Structure formats: structure tokens, C-alpha cells
Structure 1
Amino acid sequence: MRNIMIILILWCAVAQGQCPVWTPVRAEREMTILAKQLSDWDRAYYQQGISKVEDDRYDALEKKYQAWQRCFRPQSGMRQPEWSTSGKELHPVAHVGVKKVADKQALARWMAGKTSLWVQPKVDGVAITLHYRQGKLLRAISRGDGLRGEDWTEKVRHIPAIPQQIPLNSGSVVLQGELFLMMNDHQQAVAGGVNARAVVAGTMRRREATEMLQRLGIFVWAWPGGPEQMTQRLAQLKNAGFSLTTDWSRQVASADEVADWRERWFHQPLPFVTDGVVIHSPTSAGVYWQPGDNAWSVAWKYSPPTVSTEVRSIDFPTGRTGKISAVLNLVPVQLDDKRVSRVSLGSLRRWQAADIVPGDQVSISLAGQGIPRMDEVVWRVADRQLPLIPDATEFNTLSCLTYTAACREQFLSRLVWLSSKAVLSMSGISRARWQQLMQSGQLSHLFSWLSLTREQIGGIKGMTEVRAEQLYHQFSLSQQQPFKRWVKATGVPVPESALNAMTDDNWQTLLARDKAAWQKLPGIGQKLAGQIIAFLHHPQVQALIAWSEHYQENKLNDRHAGN
């Protein structure tokens, strides 16, 4: 009984970590607003043929809503898209749709034990049923809700790519496929989706036949009741005038092969827009097909250039110069080959302008060198609870040269900066290692680590003997760095060009410089010269310099005494 209780407690803890901490009133309000937005998008897409939102954005928000359902309405059925209710034509065979796999590993699990597998590009267009009887086109029906759709027969008669008669005279032939916008050498990796699906949907929704119908093609991806062997099916489809299906179908035996075709088609010039690949196995009889019930095919979509995810919380770290930035902590998402859980917004002002609070949905993409960036807010929660914002007036270039609880972030940033390769070049000393030293209570000011002994470092909780020796060695080596590096480590706002030209090799000559002397160095004008002098003569900096000089003097005396 005790074990069961422990499991229940752990399960509840996990569930609470995934669910917003909302009152029932707030949960109902948030869900009502999001449900209305999803319904508006459904009506625009399924009834008017207008795509008002990108697929990945819609999918993310629908998943968010369903997650809220599991949290706050666990007894209710999961929300489903609101299909068009205007369709009156019954499909001879239902459209089942296709489920998605997240990655190659998930695909490999789905493929396990299956045979006669084929991969095709996932053509980005609008689904349609073509019903032939005795070889003649009888009806063309939009997907609708999968069971019933709109009668598109008259418009389809104006699409040259769809044959009005086929050499398949064996009674009734039902084909399901994708109406798409024909392209010339379209490269998905370069051009993306180019809004092709919306163009097709809009064309088919118009009452009158337009010239755009001439630019539509058809890719047949299902033939309920067709030949069991895919090779025979493809041959007969080609003979019937649906050669694209034959041209773009490949037999595969492993997830690696699928991945190869997926990558190749992503970069290869194609006659249509795609958003991934579809993998097919032998199907069941069409009479049993039902919307959403498809066990014989899956889609593996391309990673979108942007993904949307939820903001869990917001941090406001303070940099070494006292500038406060905003960092969004996210529900982790995969973007290309990176797993992204945090993204920096930069300045506090940008965060305030973006108006982001925990619970909001944001879109993320990769900037240059694969750095995640926030592009825009996709969805804002109704209850705008602002996080606690630090007082920006408390921090500046002269603050936090000594360690206090309020100075933790800026002091840590200063330490990480001074140990970097461009400053004192202390190899192997990470941010986490500085945090460990700070938590030990042995750091009081920016250079206090210099006076730590081997024994003091080794006595820090969690510090191994090897790490302690490494730290002590790096601290000792830092004292061999040129004086200019120590000027940088202190934070004196001298440009790199001026440092390189500077001949000073001790604090006394540096402190003796007046404005005119500073302005003789490259990159320093009258204003910056004044800022440098003010920095160097600030009491905390003076105290730091005095400690450093006293420390160096003691070290020198110790050496002489040893000799």
C-alpha cells in the first residue's frame, strides 16, 4: 500500500509540473478564449478555404488546449478540428488522415515488423476524392470532415491535370489524392511553403472557375480497393494518367532509407511544394476506413524554420556591466538539431515592448551560428501576471565589485568574464565552478580568489582533489598575465585598441593619467576619458587596486624570503 501511495505522489508531482497553477475560474477563462480562436481558424480553413495561421502554429496551440483539457477537464473528450458542415456529398470511401511521427526513432518503431513499405513526398495541397465509374469521372469531392465533403466536380472538369476518363473500366474506382499548385523546380529547403496550400484552397472555394485551375495538379496517394501490390498499383495509375505517383514513390526497408529520401527531396527541385514525407504499408479494405483511424501510413514532416512553445518563466540576469537582460525559460522544443529550452530577449526594454508573461506561446527560430531567437508572440494568456522585475537603477559598471546576496548575478558575470580566454585565460574554470566557489563563502571581492590556498579550495564541499589542484594552478598562472589583462579583468572601460596601444605596466602610472593623456589613445574621446577616470577613482575600485597591489607585494616578499 505504501508503494502505491509513493507512486501516486510522484505521479501527482509530475502532473502538477506539467499543468499551470491556475484557479478553476482562470482555467475556464483561458480555455474559452483559446477554444474560440481555434474554432475561428477552423471555420476560415474548412468553410472558406482561407488559412489564417501556419500549420505548426495551429498544431502547437491545439496541443496546448488539449493539455489544458487533461489538466482541468480530464473527463471530457479531446478537442477535434471543426470540419466543414456544409459538405453534403458522401465520400464513397472515408478519408482517414495521417498521423505524424516526431523523428527517425519514432519512425523506426512504427516500421518495425512491417513489410512492403513505400515512401512518397508529402505534397502540400488540399485533399480530394476522385470517383470514377466505368472509366468516367463521376464525382470529385472535397475532404470535408472525412465522411462528407463539397461537390467539386464542375471545377475539377476545368483542371487539365485530372483525366476525365481513365482506362480502368472495372466498375467503380475511388482515388484519394492531393490537389496542389504546380511548381517549376521548387526547392523546399530554399523557398519553403510559399503559401501554396492556401492558393489551392482559395481557388476551389471560389464560385466561378478561374484560370488558376489550369495550374493545379493531382498527386494520388490512396487507391482503396486497388491492386494489393504497390508495383502493380503504380503501373496502373501511370497508365491512367496519374504518373506523378509513380515518379515519386520509392520502396524502402529502413528508417535510414526514409531519412535519405526525405533529405534528398527537401533539397531537390520538385514539381510541387512538400512539407515532409509519407510512409505507406499495405492498407485494409476501404469499407472499414474511418476518419482518424489509419494504422497503415504515417507522415514525417520537415522541421519548420520556426517552432512555437510555451514560456514557463522569465529570468532577469544581470551582466558584468550591470545591464539587466530578459531570458525566457521555455517548454523544451526541437529546432533543427538543437533542443531549445531558453532564449534571450536581450534588453529589459525589448521584453517590456514584447509584453511576454509566463504562459504565453512564442515562436522560436535559429539565427546566425544556430543561436535561438524569439520571433514573435503567438498567443497571449488572458491573465497577464508580470514576474518580479529587478531594479535597474541598482546596477551599473561600478556595482558588485564585492559580493553580496543582491549582487550574485553581476558578481558571477564579472568572474566568468575575467576567467575567459580574452582576459585572464583560466582554462577549465566554468560558470558552475565559480558558483561553487561563491557558495563556499570564501569570495568577498572580485580578486579574493587569488588568496585561496590549496587547502581552502580542497575543503569546499563537492570539490574533488583533481579539480582543486586545477583551480589553484589556474589561479597561480593568471598572475603571469600582462598588466593590460588585469585592467580588463577589473572592468576598466578602456577599448581594445587603446589597451593595445597603452604602454602602462602598473596601476600607479595608469592612475596618474589625466583626460588629455587618455585621449591620446585610439578610440577614446573626451566623454570616455572622463568615464575611465571616474571608474578608476571610485572608492570600490581604489580598494580593489590597493588590495591587488598589497597582495602582489606580499607575494614578492614571500619569494625573496624563500630565496
Structure 2
Amino acid sequence: MTRIRGIFGALMTCMTFAAQAVCPAWPEARAAEEISQLQKQIEAWNTAYWQSGNSGVSDEKFDQLNEQLRTWQRCFGKAAHESPIPVPGGAMLHPVAHTGVRKLKDRQSLAQWMAAKTDLWVQPKVDGVAVTLVYRAGKLAQAISRGNGLSGEDWTAKVMQIPAVPKKVDGLLTDSVLQGELFLRQEGHIQEKMGGMNARAKVAGALQRKTNSVVLSRLSIFIWAWAGGPAQFAQKLTLLQKAGFPLVAEYSLPVKSSAEVEAQRQRWFTSPLPFTSDGVVVRSAKEPEGKYWQPGEGSWVAAWKYPPATQIAEVKSIDFTVGRTGKVAVVAVLEPVMLDDKRVRRVNVGSLKRWQEWDIAPGDTLNISLAGQGIPRIDSVAWRSTARTKPQPPERSSDASGCYWASSECQPQFLARLVWAGRKLQLKGVGEGLWRQLSKAHEFQHLFSWLALSEAQLRQTPGVSTERASLLWHKFDLVKQQPLKQWLLALAIPLSQKTLAALEVQNWAQVAAIPTREWQRLPGMGKEKTSQVLHWLAEPQIIALAQWLAEENVAAFKSQ
């Protein structure tokens, strides 16, 4: 699909992104500035694309940002009188106009589109550059770029150098007009795993360069329209195959239902193909005469694209979370977008340093994709807002205790330690919200203050029912019998899992009595790590917590 086809497609139907998009709450002055800046960038990319075939931005990102621009223009009433990018035409008229294809967002819309149509065929939506081939007296006379659908550039000389394009035809094709997609041949390309590989821009680049390119020898063509050809679609396929256009016959299949289209779409998405593709096209064999074709009016053909491997998403806000060690993590809250079958609302940015390197502010647009196990990740910043107002991150606590004790300075880190300890002590059903309620209502002094709460006190906690208070009290009482190693994890002792597993101790006194040389003999322990553990064990706050736990009859801390 060429970029210009994307423009005409937008005139017929909005892409999935537009359906999801929300109008920004901007004052008029900022809206005008944002639209102006993005429009200038898209125009620059588009100019570079048509002059050199490579604008320095991926096809997918260009399409999505171009759609975002149109959405902003619609939101602020500018689309009706303002074209997002100039539509390049050319000096050469098309004998038959390029119509473009209607974009359908899902199986339901496809079923509705198919309902009143017969003799339907499905084809891959080959990702390349659209072209018109004109044959006269059996010879290739003209090759015309798509341009604006009515006229385009003369690509005849370049196309003559593409071995895969037949230079001579006969029979019904002797005087014919064909439309198709010039594409870069691939070996076993699996779209699901490999994506588009920016193949479209490579094709455009080879055709736009004034000098000849070796890429031309690697190009092929997929014919998707024969204006004035036989009425029977199967006959069209046979004749095209015999004339030297084999792919259209191999990759055109009759379909009767949206379920068949969906199944074939999935097969092509996950199977090796000789081209990149971005979806499927469904077309009716019954089509009007070529003289009636107009850009944006191809009602007999529609496309159902694959879900994008990456998606752009606008940043609504920046959230900061403080971990148990005081480390600040940054999360970008997004305007919801769909990636595959996931609705993505948040994406992890990482550390404060990483956030500063990304330079992400509310209003920016991010390229996001799904990493392993379907976790959203940031690939790049697609577009930066003109307003660079960033929230102030929380400062890391300087409390020497490591926030085992509650204080106003330690509040976020102390809460994170409570959550960590609850998980390590296997207190199921006790999450961050409840810890926040309890610590606020009962003014926790330290990490384990909750162990001293009575059932009556728990019942007085706002938002905690009598039944839940009773259940909590029993959970807190039972946790006193947890083995020492669970308590060491809850205290966040600086030991690896491997070292902790090798530790043969039953109570706190035994841990405190391990000599330096014995620590160093444990797996994963050297001088530096041993020094770190001994320093942790000698911390007054840790010693005080161990004594307090012993007084509360926690088994692992009682003297034997």
C-alpha cells in the first residue's frame, strides 16, 4: 500500500486508530500549534519519500501519525479546509483511475460489507507501490505511478528493467490496462514474526532514484485489477498466469463468508510468503466498467488489515512509584489503544534516568509494541508535544533506616516495604490498598506494627467489615509461625535465593551468630557480599525489629 493510497483510504473510512482516538482538551492556540508542527513534519517526510523514496520514518509510523493529524484536524474543525499533505500527481494520466480500497476494522464490518455481494475472492494485501501497466499491440507501452489516482509519474523506463514484469503479452491482454503492486521479493517471509521490514520504502526508493538500482532486479508484481478484462474472475486469473503474472492466480481464493476470510487471513499472516503484506483484500468479481472508476469509490473491494505490530499512543500523564529500596520507577499512562487483542493503558518507562533519556512528557506520542508474554514496551517517541510540562518526580528518601520505620519522608517507600513483606509472608488478599488503609488508620510505627493489632482494632478500620477484620486477625496470628527464611525475605535480607537456600538456620539468633568465614563459604558469597550482609545485620533498626518480633512471640525470633 503506497502512502497515497493511505490518503484515499482515509476519505472512505477511518483507520482503527481514529476509532479509538480521543480529542485532546487543548485550547485553540495550542491546538493550532500542535497541528501545524505535525503537519509540517508529515509534509517533510512525504516530500522526502516522493523525491528519494526514503523519508527516514517507517511506513507504519508515517501512516499512524498521518491519521493522528487528521483526527486532530477533525477535532478542531480544520479538516474540511486543510489538506494534511500535498497529494502528488504527475504528468501522465491513468487510462483507468485507481480507486483505492475501503478499510474494514473487524470481522463484523467485513460480514456487513460482504452481505449483499456475490462471487467474492480474497487476496493478500501485498505491501509495495501501486502502478498501472498499459499494454498496446502486445507490448508494454507505459508504466505509471499511482500518483493521485488520476495521474502519476512516468515509471516506464524503470519498470522495463524489472525482469518479473512481462514486456510482451498476447490474446485478450494485447491491449489492456492492469493495476498492481510492485513489491520486493522475499524468501519465506512470515508477516507475524517479521513485520513489514520497511519494504514499501525500498521499492519506492528504487523507482524514484534517477540512477538505476540493483533493487529493481529483486522486484516483482502482484496484479489486482484488470479493467475491461473477462467478467469471469477465474478466467482472468488463468489468462494473467499464462501471460507471466502467476502470483495473482496462486494467491486468489473464492470465499463465501467472513469466517472463511478470517481463517485465510490468519493462515497468510502466519505462513511463509514471497512478499510482505499488511492484511487481506476481498473483492467482488462484479465491477463497473473502468471508465466509471474514481479515486475513493471502489465499492466492490475492501481491505481488512492485520493488527499493527506497533501502535502509537498518546501519553495522558506520568506516574511515579517508589519501591521498597527507595528506587523510583516511572510509568506512562496512555490514551487506551489496542495492540493485538490487548487494550493497553499503561507502559513501563523504567528508572528516572531512563525517563529523562526518553524525554517523555504528557501529550507526547509513543511507539509501543508487545514484548515477550504480551507486556507493552516503548520502542521510541513517535512525536513530542509542543508543550514540555513534566511532573516533578519524588525524591529518594535519605532516611538512614531504609524506611523500615514510618515517617512522612518515607511514606511511599514504607508502603512498598509493607507490600513486599506481605507477599513474602504469603498474606494472600492483603494488597497495597489495604496496607495503606491499615497503616493510616493505626499509625504504624514500623514494618510489622500490624502484628500487634487486636481483632477489635481491626474492626475499627474504616472500610474493613467485621468479617474481614476477623479473617485478617487470624491471618496475622498464623503468620507468626512462618519459618525463619520467609521472615528473612520479608525483611529483604541482601542474599540471593541460592545463598538463602543453603543457609542452615532455624532462628534469628543462629543467623546473627554466623561468623564471617562461614558466610564467605556459602554459594554466591565473597568478601564484598559478606560485608554487605554483616552491615545489614548490624543495623540498629534491623536489630530493633528482630527484638520486637521476639517479644510478639514470632517463633523464628524467639530464643531456643
CA distance in 2, matches of 1:390, 1:413: 14
Q: How does 1:520-535 map to 2 (within 5 A)?
A: 521-535=522-536
Percentage of identical aligned residues = 47
- Asked if the contact 2:164–2:221 (Cα under 8 Å) also holds between the matched residues in 1, the reply is yes
Q: Helix, strand or coil: the match of 2:485?
A: helix
Q: Matched residue of 1:221: which SS? A: strand
- Asked whether 1:545 is paired with 2:546, we answer yes
Measured against aligned partners, the alpha-carbon deviations of 1:261-291 in whole angstroms (never above 9, x if no partner) come to 2222233232222222222234444333332
Q: Which amino acid aligns with 1:299?
A: A
| Alignment root-mean-square deviation, CA | 3.4
Residue 325 of structure 2 is aligned to residue 321 of structure 1? yes
Normalised by the length of structure 2, the TM-score is 0.84
**One-letter amino acid of the counterpart of residue 365, structure 1:** S
Match of 1:392 among 383, 387, 396: 396
Q: Does 1:348 align with 2:346?
A: no
Residue 429 of structure 2 is aligned to residue 425 of structure 1 = no
Q: What is the one-letter code of the residue matched to 1:336?
A: D
Report if aligned partners of 1:403, 1:443 keep a CA contact under 8 Å in 2.
yes
Q: How does 1:470-481 map to 2 (within 5 A)?
A: 470-481=471-482
Q: Which amino acid aligns with 2:47?
A: R
Q: Deviations over 1:9-41 (max 9, x none)?
A: xxxxxxxx9444544443333322211110011
Show the counterpart of 2:8: none
Aligned to 2:451: 450
The offset of 1:179, in angstroms, is: 1.1
Name the aligned partner's letter for residue 354 of structure 2: R
Aligned-pair distance for 1:247? 0.9
1:215 aligned onto 2:218: yes
Q: State the AA in 1 paired with 2:59.
A: D
SS in 2 for 1:218: strand
1:56 and 2:35 correspond:
no
Q: CA deviation at 1:506?
A: 3.6
Does the 8 Å CA contact 1:323/1:395 hold for their aligned counterparts? no
CA 1:361–1:269 in 2, change beyond 3 Å: closer, same or farther? same
State the secondary structure of the residue aligned to 1:141.
strand
SS in 2 for 1:50: coil
- Number of the residue aligned with 1:483: 484
Corresponding residue for residue 107 of structure 1: 110
Offset, 1:128? 0.5
Aligned residue for 1:247?
250
Say whether 1:150 aligns with 2:145. Answer: no
Post-superposition shift, 1:121? Answer: 1.0
What is the distance in 1 between the residues matched to 2:299 and 2:444? Answer: 62
Whether the 8 Å contact between 1:313 and 1:357 is mirrored in structure 2 is yes
Q: CA deviation at 1:489?
A: 0.8
Equivalent residue, structure 2, for 1:13:
none
Question: Could you tell me which of 66, 78, 88 is aligned with 2:70?
Answer: 66
Corresponding residue of 1:14: none
CA offsets, 1:66-120, max 9 Å, x none?
23323444574464442224x1111122212224334444434444444333211
Counterpart position of 1:293:
297
CA–CA distance in 2 between the matches of 1:435 and 1:295? 59
Q: Does 1:332 align with 2:333?
A: no
Match of 2:100 in 1: 97
Q: Specify the code of the residue in structure 2 equivalent to 1:315.
A: D
Q: Secondary structure at the match of 2:552?
A: helix
Provide TM-score, normalisation by structure 1: 0.84
- Structure 1 residue 535: Cα displacement: 3.8
- 1:316 is paired with a residue whose SS is strand
Q: Residue in 2 aligned with 1:224?
A: 227
CA contact (8 A) 2:59 2:200 kept: no
Counterpart CA distance in 2 for 1:273 and 1:357 is 35
Kept after mapping to 1: 8 A contact 2:516/2:530: yes
The answer on 1:302 being equivalent to 2:316 is: no
Q: Which residue of 2 aligns with 1:495?
A: 496
Alignment match, 1:34? 38
Number of aligned pairs? 537
Q: Provide Cα deviations, 1:304-323, integer angstroms capped at 9, x if missing partner.
A: 43333222211121111111
Greater shift, 130-139 or 325-334, is seen at 130-139
- 1:299-358 Cα offsets, whole Å, 9 max, x none, are 233334333322221112111111111112122233334332222222211111222212
Corresponding residue for residue 382 of structure 2 = 378
Map of 1:6 onto structure 2: none
Q: For the Cα contact (< 8 Å) 1:174–1:224, is it kept in 2? A: yes
